[in-house]
Amino acid sequence: MPLDAILPPPHGAPWPEAAADVAGMNWMWLEEAARFATENETPWPRDLRLHLESGYFEQPPDNEILGPVRPRGEPNGLVLRSGAKIVSWGDTEQVDFTFSAAKSYLSLLAGIAVMDGLIADLDEPVGRTVGDRGFEGPHNGAITWRHLLQNTSEWEGTLFGKSDIVDRNRNLAVEGKGRKGDPRPLREPGRFWEYNDVRVNRLSLALLRRFRRPLPEVFAERIMRPIGASSDWSWHGYRTSTVEVDGQMIESVAGGTHWGGGMLIHAEDQARIGLLMSRRGEWAGKRILPESWIAESLMPCALNPNYGLLWWLNTGQTRYKSAPASSFFASGAGGNLTWIDPDHDLVAVMRWLDPTAADTFMRLIIQAME
């Protein structure tokens, strides 16, 4: 069967596999890439609780864990080309927390909200339709959905026991080494880019307010079941993040595992999500997300050209020099990366790969096609 005729597997069925030569790739370089990923494990310890409590992200008391956390598994991953699995390593059904890759999944839910008319305009102030007092006043009241999705909101406040100040002055280039959490004058919404988990969690709560249903329930119904994903994944919030919606108590989920919680998922399901994005929101002839939403999600933010709507970009090949500039990523701390390369019809999922080794892994995969 030609690769362009391969359809995504239904739920419970294994991925169709293709030999390297059928996929137009060199098997030796593929094997080298898999070996390299196995041997370059993240330096993070297996016990994630110890790591989170060590002060990696911030010092006590700001590092208090509020959500579930458990030890991680071994490195694993897989590479798809044109929807066929061409190489894998480790246990790709090992369910682990995926840290900030969950932010990209919130972006998918925002796309569903736009498709359903729950968000009429990304540039509309959130407070017009979310009336929980989180978007009141001249500053927070000016925040739009686009600001939240681009990490330019400058939202100010405390949510679920964490102040936005905890993540102010956060520099991802020195994550785990540099100081953050120092107060600084806020800029107007839309005038400053900053990676801030409290603000992403504020987006998650705002989406919950619009759907008026648990976000994992919506995610399963509108994304995961239609693409044949397993039921092995789960999405968690904090012990402090339960809110009342229409008289029902619902847990608002976290956009990462910074303070515990977030998405537990395996590489096989992450590959399905990556393939959905690679195919511009279509799955086996069915439209899951509008193609216009995928395009919107991958438009570079003016303040950070390597960021879209909660998806990392590779504008000018400045994030990963070995990957094409059209590549984009769902990225989580500790070495959790989904790489989508539309130029080569590739989707690769890397779990617990040392982040400093990611570019070399991509170089080996690209080299396998030359």
In 3D space, the residue among 366, 368, 268 whose CA is nearest the CA of residue 317 turns out to be: 366
CB 365 within 8 A of CB 77: no
Is residue 177's pLDDT more than 80? no
Of 5 and 346, the one with more pLDDT:
346
* pLDDT given at position 102: 98
Per the structure, the count of domains in the chain is 1
String of DSSP letters for 323-341: S-TT-EEEEETTTEEEEEE
Q: What is the pTM of this model?
A: 0.95
* pLDDT given at position 342: 95
Using a 10 angstrom Cβ sphere, with 0-12 exposed, 13-18 middle and 19 or more buried, the burial of residue 181 is middle
Tell me which H or E stretch contains 226: none
CB 57 within 8 A of CB 175: yes
Interval 231-256 mean pLDDT: 97
* pLDDT given at position 3: 61
Give the model confidence (pLDDT) of 60-116 as tens digits: 899 999 999 999 999 999 999 999 999 999 999 999 999 999 999 999 999 999 999
Residue 136 C-alpha from the chain's centroid: 28
Q: What is the CATH number of the domain that holds 123?
A: 3.40.710.10
* pLDDT given at position 349: 98
Containing structural domain, residue 363: 1-370
> Which region among 88-92, 159-163, 181-185 has the lowest average model confidence (pLDDT)?
181-185
Interval 291-319 mean pLDDT: 98
Per-chain mean pLDDT for the chain: 94
Is residue 2's pLDDT more than 60? no
* pLDDT given at position 15: 83
Token pair listed for 364: 């080996």
Quote the CA–CA distance of 370 and 362 in Å, as a whole number: 13
Quote the CA–CA distance of 298 and 302 in Å, as a whole number: 12
Is residue 1's pLDDT more than 60? no
